[in-house]
Amino acid sequence: MIEMKVESQKSKAKSRNFLLLSSSIFSPTLNHQPSTLNLQHYTIYLLPFFLLLPFKNLHAQYFPSKNYPTNYFSNPLGIPMQLSGNFGELRREHFHMGIDLRTNQKENLPVYAAASGYVSRIKIERFGYGRAIYITHDNGYTTLYAHLNNFYDTLHNFVKNKQYAEEQWEQDFLLTPNQFPVNKEQFIAFSGNTGGSQGPHLHFEIRDEKGNNINPLLFNFSIEDNKPPIIDRLYYYDRNFSTYSTKPIEITIQKTKEGLLVKDSVIYVNSNKISLGVIARDITNTSAFKFGIYQAEVWVDSAMAFAFRLNDFSYDDSRYINACTDYVTHYTTGRNIQHLSKLPGNQLNIFSTNTSDGIIELNDTLPKKIELVVKDVAGNSNSINFVIQKKESIENASTVVPTADELLLPNVAGSYNQNNIQLDFNEFAFYDTLPLHITYATHPIKSMALSNQYTFNPQMPVHNDYQVGLSLLQDVADSIKKKIVMVLKNKTSKHAQLPIWKGNTATATFNKLGFVELVLDTVPPTINPSAWKNNFTFRNQTQLVIQAKDAIGEIKSFRAELNGNWLMFRRKGDLFIYDFDDRCPLGEYELKIIATDEADNITEKIFSFTRALPIVNKSKKKTLVKKKARSKKKKR
């Protein structure tokens, strides 16, 4: 005989009435979608007789209550707000720390101050935000507007003059309250696609007085959302081992008309402690994009065992995403599984302090009722229920104990020094026990080998900078050492650095694990015009573009001189872009380009070009004449 309980998550009742039915273990969740944002979420439990227990109020406060000012900030765009990215969304190496607002796939839409205040900081960089404005407001909050094109005229001219005075395109500087005050809804910039942006949009953030990023959707912006998040996949991990030494085991779920249902009535495991993982996403009424979830909760036998909420943490801590997700699985398969547990070295403050670290103890063979709840910032939620039971005889292939030359522990400094390689990590480097395994080989032509070629755990994360020391296999002259770079690469990135030498040992710092070696770099960068050539005449073009690349590392410095005077180029990837302005009026010019790589190899090229009057398209000119003629007739 099985009992069924229908329960509203908003209900404050301490006891429930039960309805007798004959069924199996659990029924799926019913996902009601009322038109208001105060969504009530109903879950149906079908429980075996021996699991019938009174349920506690499932919505006790597990996170401190905070009141954010509503109707204080306005929409920073002149069009209705539509999201293309939300706060807490999973990105490579970081959480998304604001919201991305659609600009209808266009650049140069006007951007407005969300509230009165003053421009407190300007940042211009190749990656990241691109061109960004920070505005500090009277209530202590700061708003950030990123991936911009030009700023409003007064600010634009101030920044441009500073760039030319310093002969430096990239900028990051503070301003005082009396320099550039702004009013609410004042035009401040044009939207763009600068920095790390992959398409036109406005990135918008709100930060508190401590510098922590707050989810902008908590400030009552008008974005309709009554759709609950979606749970796509569910997993468990054997937590007798490091999460880097065990594979996620999928718990098969089925999507029915009524909701989500676990395929097996009972999930049997042969571990006495496990943790869960989930692939989930959020959706909204007005956007086809998939977003990150705001909150997740794990309930064990009606008691909350774990919870996180993605809000109120600093950009500097955003790299802890590598502790909040299954980094190994993402690196090897591309799947983004979020841990429903707190790894030992995870210092991010998104977790409920009133719950455990998410480890589910299975000290006996009694079944445990599990409920996973995921929520969005609008209050919509979704859940799935199942039973976990320990059974020693069930074979579990989740554990893969890799070969380890050294076990590196979380919250403890660690090092390794063998076979001409030394690694030094601080106590914040690792989130879980990392089984360091190093393989090495020499160059196929031994006479060309500078160092061994080492590979160590490229599929595993490290939180911050660590030091790599590599020893030369043979003596080389100091003049040669100046051209040797240390290169570290893995499947997702490549970094080259000019090391520091102490005798025949080179030392450099990196923040990823992978393949590392010393490389002699005597090849200078390449410099080539993009979509033009030497002695070109620019007429209708608005930009002059140069491509500068290096075979081994990055371009360390780029300098352009127009008729002997420094000329400012902005950078997007390997492209260096000059936007024609009053520093290059009509006439003939000599353009000198100098590019330097990490090993201080230099390439210099000189080009000639002419700026001439634009060519007017005759068909367009005729169309304009006809339009003017029609306009005159209408006035008559």
**Residue 259 — pLDDT band, cuts 50, 70, 90?**
confident
Phi, psi of 626 (to 5 degrees): -65, -40
188-243 pLDDT per residue, tens: 999 999 999 999 999 999 999 999 999 999 999 988 999 999 999 999 999 999 99
Domain that residue 548 falls in: 526-611
Q: Which residues, in sequence order, are CB contacts of 51 under 8 Å at separation 6+?
A: 367, 369, 387
pLDDT (0 to 100) of residue 45: 39
Q: pLDDT-derived band of residue 48, with 50, 70 and 90 as boundaries?
A: very low
Question: What is the reported pLDDT for 22?
Answer: 29
pLDDT, tens only, 378-417: 999 999 999 999 987 655 555 555 678 999 999 999 999 9
CATH number, domain containing residue 576: 2.60.40.10
CA dihedral 14, 20, 25, 26 (to 10 degrees): -60
Segment 529-533 mean pLDDT: 97
| pLDDT at position 64 | 81
Beta bridge partners of 578: 544
Asked whether residue 360 falls in the same domain as residue 271, the answer is yes
Q: Can you give the pLDDT at residue 404?
A: 85
Pair (150, 130) in one structural domain: yes
Burial of 379 (0-12, 13-18, 19+ CB in 10 A): middle
Query: Residue 374: pLDDT above 60?
Result: yes
Task: Give the CATH number of the domain where residue 127 resides.
Answer: 2.70.70.10
Answer yes or no: do 442 and 501 share one domain: yes
**Domain assignment present for 385:** yes
Residue 218 phi, psi (nearest 5): -80, -5
Query: What does the pLDDT read at residue 287?
Result: 87
Both 244 and 384 in a single domain? Answer: yes
Task: Answer yes or no: is pLDDT of 42 > 90.
Answer: no
Average pLDDT on 433-461 reads 86
Where residue 449 falls among pLDDT bands split at 50, 70, 90?
A: low
Last residue of a domain, one of 217, 248, 270: 217
Size of the chain, expressed as the number of residues it contains: 636
pLDDT at 32 over 50: no
Q: What percent of the chain has pLDDT over 70?
A: 85
**Residues 203 and 229 occupy one common structural domain:** no
The larger pLDDT score, comparing residue 628 to residue 570, is at: 570
The 3-state DSSP class for residue 599 equals coil
CA-to-CA distance for 385 and 26, rounded, in angstroms?
7
Residues 591 and 486 in one domain: no
Say which range, 272-276, 360-364, 392-396, 526-530, has the weakest mean pLDDT.
392-396
Residue 209 lies in a domain: yes
The pLDDT tens digits for 3-15 are: 333 333 333 333 3
Q: Do 272 and 410 share a domain, yes or no?
A: no
Q: Is residue 267 part of a domain?
A: yes
CA 58 to mean position of chain CA atoms: 32
Nearest Cα to 194, choosing from 593, 554, 579? 579
Predicted local distance difference test score (pLDDT) of residue 448: 58
Same domain, 255 and 348: yes
* pLDDT of 7: 34
86-102 tens-digit pLDDT? 999 999 999 999 999 99
The answer to which of 58-67, 424-433, 490-499, 569-578 has the lowest mean pLDDT is: 58-67
Do both 417 and 456 map to the same domain?
yes
Residues 6+ apart with CB under 8 A from 472: 450, 451, 504, 505, 506, 518
Q: What is the predicted pLDDT for the residue at 619?
A: 65
Q: What is the 3-state secondary structure (H, E, C) of 66-120?
A: CCCCCCCCCCCECCCCCEEECCCCEECCEECCCEEEECCCCCCCEEECCCCEEEE
pLDDT of residue 613: 95
State residue 547's pLDDT score: 98
Q: Look at residue 442 in the predicted model and tell me its pLDDT.
A: 79
Of 520, 539, 568, which residue sits at a domain end? 520
Bridge partners (DSSP) of residue 407 are: 435
In a domain, 374, yes or no: yes
Q: Taking residues 609-615, report their average pLDDT.
A: 96
Q: Does 144 fall in a domain?
A: yes
Q: Is the pLDDT of residue 21 over 90?
A: no
**Last residue of one domain, picked from the residues 166, 197, 217:** 217
CB atoms within 10 A of CB 148: 26
378 vs 123: CA distance, rounded Å: 32
Overall average pLDDT of the 605-611 stretch: 98
Same domain, 332 and 236: yes
pLDDT of residue 11: 33
210 and 230, same domain (yes or no): no
Sign of the dihedral through C-alpha 375, 381, 382, 384: positive
Cβ(434)–Cβ(408) below 8 Å: yes
Q: What pLDDT is recorded for position 391?
A: 84
Residue 156 has pLDDT above 80, yes or no: yes
Given a cut of 90, whether residue 135 has pLDDT beyond it is yes
pLDDT value of position 34:
32
CATH code for position 474:
2.60.220.30
Query: Residue 27 pLDDT > 80, yes or no?
Result: no
Q: Does 510 have pLDDT greater than 90?
A: yes
Higher-pLDDT residue of 617, 455: 455
The region that residue 88 occupies, defined by phi over 0 for left and psi between -120 and 50 for alpha, beta otherwise, is: left
Indicate whether 260 and 376 sit together in one domain: yes
Q: Which residues contact 295 (CB under 8 A, 6 or more apart)?
A: 307, 308, 309, 310, 374, 375, 376
Identify the residue with better confidence: 518 or 1: 518
Please give the mean pLDDT across all residues of the chain: 87
pLDDT of residue 17: 32
pLDDT the model gives residue 38? 38
298 lies in some domain: yes
What pLDDT shows up at residue 55?
Answer: 37
Q: Are 216 and 99 in contact (CB under 8 A)?
A: yes
- Total structural domains in the chain? 4
pLDDT at residue number 248: 97
pLDDT of the residue at 349: 94
- Return d(Cα 385, Cα 126) in angstroms, integer: 47
46 part of a folded domain: no
Give the model's confidence band at 286: pLDDT under 50 very low, under 70 low, under 90 confident, else very high. Answer: confident
- Backbone torsions φ then ψ of 631, nearest 5 degrees: -60, -40
- Determine, yes or no, domain membership for 30: no
pLDDT over 50 (residue 251)? yes
Residues in a beta bridge with 300? 303, 370
pLDDT of residue 580: 97
Distance from chain centroid for Cα 563? 42
